[in-house]
Structure 1
């Protein structure tokens, strides 16, 4: 039977050098009252020190909550996760080489918990082959402190095929969050925006001799929670902390609670805003041309998300199923600072199970952001010079989707306008995105080409396609000069298609109206 304790008492249970597991996204699933108590104890006593933090998604609000609370010199000695950006102080210590930092694919980490729970030797996957995760390249190591520390991935050859092998490890303590717990510690998550990997992490911790601590909002009598609503069984829970502060249990980075995000209510979302005719709309329209009726789709943050607005404007949004990596099928994804939440989901499955679906090729199309591209079709979104964030779910999604479209502006800082159905360069950009060599390989063009994967790179000026011989220019925007506006602003010379086409001129007009027939 779980024991009820305070957050301060929970902090005393974490020892120096412990491996601490976390299951959260943004502030969803993050037990802030426990995290704050751990940080306060370290400031007062110098303990717990030298922790090894293991998490999947970014955990924080880019301000003070989340794992940024642990961003105190000496408290953490290593961090492994998919994205560190939301934990600003931790990120700074990583840049200062105070923390050995490893950034792995989101789907790898959340499913590694199951391997640990089952006492299997590790996770075997092709996710990350040819990227910086591959030990033949960087082994997921983001800074010099990690390069001087342990290796956490190696190559495994099975039937003459290379796989990545991520060894398991014991978890000393995990800090989790739910909504309600009964007297025996059975935990439900009815107010959470997603069903996180808390069960798998609790099982991994319990089966390797660690302790499981769960923060909740409410305590109820035994039997008050329906058995099928229990996400973490009380048999796996050692301690429960009932939060005393509302801010300790925010549903997203932007709000405490919305029943629409937890699937309890359906709300009128209204019509999605119609985008102004600019380069972002041109790019989104061109990406939308890749949609086909019945497709299951994932859209990345930023410009890729505009594809949903285009589909809605063109009355095609009901022809496809949008998904979010947290586990939602259908509905309308919320914008920042509620990233990860979805209005009116048709289904919400556990976070780790969504990545099983993704990794197995369940996505028909992924539209993701474009930051740096090189002559081999490699793409980087995880590290720029000394600054790094990590890949989030990008590697899983881009590698396994049947078709992937990377999209973004052609150059950083360029100013353009659309006039008379043509694209006009008003002011040239300040930084090239199409480079000789990317700072880090988050997507491997060579691996994708070898697997005959369909990959497009869409910008407002042109469209490239990945081939086995490299990047090929296949479309040019009306009004754009190939030599002056494209080739002169690239660090490498791409192949130019013998059948070079003009991008669909209709997408450069105020009203389009053709997507429905394409889909």
Structure 2
């Protein structure tokens, strides 16, 4: 049998100029750093491979590593991905027109891998309709250079209904990562803190005759792996690279080389999670948490929601009475945040990235808590391109279009906002220089008109005001104690919203450090409402 184990430098030689290369991962989880760094070194030394098309379903960087190894002018000609919020070099190249850049919804990309694996020419979906992905708007094209090209996605009618058609993207090379590989190439992902979309991507690659390269942490004897632990059978893998420095090049995620709690091998005591201090981000999360109801299934998007909602639920003692999910496929537990988005400890379940997106697109969650950059008078929300920052969609479009209730979590203004919570009131110490309530959003990530026509609930939650999307548009329904409606709200907006005649004032308890007492009566588990009284 041909020896499958090769060096990282030899693996880099398997990629030719002009190839379409797909990488699997999220943040730094799943990043085959040895292989990616070897490809970068080869390009910087020889100028090859160049003019690549790089395909990736999720954001794959920690602001320094991951697929940023490809972020050099000339190395990649076309970028097809979902998210670059943690990849500053990619965002700079997109903004500087140094690469063709297409942004597609994260869930649609992993579903497309499954369609490709089945030999299908593409995938039909309603996800993306009415957003910047729709070819009638921007077609997912993220810069001037790309807008000169035809969109990848097509709008079409099928049996009298509108859909977007996502065509197959044939790979030449797929780069994945695993924990163990035996001498036949059978691969496990035991120590990974996410299940990811490894097998669907491999099957998509092999259906087109692509080369599959896998980086592994351990080489083990033939027939020594339990068959149920094998994620990818050996016949589907062409080359294996044994990582020489797992501490640096095979980390579970950016902040941890290896923590058994992240892959579910142990559980930590509840005392290991201290309460969060009452910051601006926690305050916004607290206001948003009032929409939680017993037994609800929720999703936490990156940013404020993932970083604080779960922690607040834990602090309030209600986390075991709801189901928390993240797009990576994790359920329950304590979610890591920032550059470690998508992993957690004390999880109740971990399913594949693709299966999680099937759940979001089909069943849909009761509530999704999402970050937001802008909202306009039509209720459109932009979270994908803000000035010179182009983070992209990630799972935002997949999840928000299908959730029953969308709660956007955002500061009222940005860039310099400073607040204080004293005496149960909010004090604006310094106003932010950038307005977030604008006349027209810079890019439509969430279509307010389509949400209203579908009867979807939507709230836009800030530290000082809450807006509810109603048939007539966004309506100001609640304000923080201590703020002046004219000075602190209306004067800081580019449009004049409708104001609910029964405009509410938030409970002062939100602006004080002790726990709120969400669902104060554990017997009746009634939600905490804006008046501060038991409903």
Equivalent residues of 1:361, 1:402 under 8 A apart: no
Provide the residue aligned with 1:352 in structure 2. 354
Provide the residue aligned with 2:491 in structure 1. 488
Equivalent residues of 2:290, 2:518 under 8 A apart: yes
1: CA distance, partners of 2:483 / 2:391: 34
**In terms of mean alpha carbon deviation, does 265-274 or 218-227 score higher?**
265-274
Alignment of 1:459-474 (within 5 A): 459-474=462-477
Could you tell me how far 1:237 is from its partner in structure 2? 0.9
Alignment of 1:316-465 (within 5 A): 316-412=318-414, 413-465=416-468
2: CA distance, partners of 1:271 / 1:251: 20
1: CA distance, partners of 2:431 / 2:41: 50
Structure 1 residues 415 and 84: alpha-carbon distance in aligned structure 2, compared to 1, 3 A threshold:
closer
Provide the residue aligned with 2:149 in structure 1. 149
Deviations 1:304-340 (A, max 9, x none): 2322232222221211111121111111111334322
Structure 1 residues 276 and 85: alpha-carbon distance in aligned structure 2, compared to 1, 3 A threshold:
closer
Alignment of 1:222-241 (within 5 A): 222-241=222-241
SS in 2 for 1:41: helix
Provide the residue aligned with 1:253 in structure 2. 254
Equivalent residues of 1:193, 1:262 under 8 A apart: yes
Could you tell me how far 1:114 is from its partner in structure 2? 0.7
1: CA distance, partners of 2:72 / 2:281: 40
SS in 2 for 1:219: strand
Structure 1 residues 276 and 71: alpha-carbon distance in aligned structure 2, compared to 1, 3 A threshold:
closer
Provide the residue aligned with 1:15 in structure 2. 16
**In terms of mean alpha carbon deviation, does 162-171 or 280-289 score higher?**
280-289
2: CA distance, partners of 1:36 / 1:496: 55
**In terms of mean alpha carbon deviation, does 113-122 or 155-164 score higher?**
155-164
Structure 1 residues 195 and 41: alpha-carbon distance in aligned structure 2, compared to 1, 3 A threshold:
same
TM-score computed with the length of structure 1 as normaliser? 0.96
SS in 2 for 1:387: coil
1: CA distance, partners of 2:507 / 2:159: 46
2: CA distance, partners of 1:43 / 1:216: 25
Deviations 1:373-401 (A, max 9, x none): 11111111211123311121111122211
SS in 1 for 2:49: coil
SS in 2 for 1:355: helix
Provide the residue aligned with 2:531 in structure 1. none
Equivalent residues of 1:296, 1:362 under 8 A apart: no
Alignment of 1:298-317 (within 5 A): 298-304=299-305, 305-317=307-319
Equivalent residues of 2:310, 2:335 under 8 A apart: no
SS in 1 for 2:288: helix
Alignment of 1:122-137 (within 5 A): 122-137=122-137
Could you tell me how far 1:204 is from its partner in structure 2? 0.9
Provide the residue aligned with 1:268 in structure 2. 269
Provide the residue aligned with 1:27 in structure 2. 28
Could you tell me how far 1:42 is from its partner in structure 2? 1.7
Equivalent residues of 1:315, 1:516 under 8 A apart: no
**In terms of mean alpha carbon deviation, does 380-389 or 188-197 score higher?**
380-389
Structure 1 residues 218 and 316: alpha-carbon distance in aligned structure 2, compared to 1, 3 A threshold:
same
Could you tell me how far 1:133 is from its partner in structure 2? 0.8
Equivalent residues of 1:217, 1:249 under 8 A apart: yes
Structure 1 residues 255 and 165: alpha-carbon distance in aligned structure 2, compared to 1, 3 A threshold:
same
Structure 1 residues 265 and 115: alpha-carbon distance in aligned structure 2, compared to 1, 3 A threshold:
same
Deviations 1:467-510 (A, max 9, x none): 12211111122222222221111100111112222223442344
Structure 1 residues 4 and 426: alpha-carbon distance in aligned structure 2, compared to 1, 3 A threshold:
closer
- 1:508 to 2:511 alignment: yes
Provide the residue aligned with 2:502 in structure 1. 499
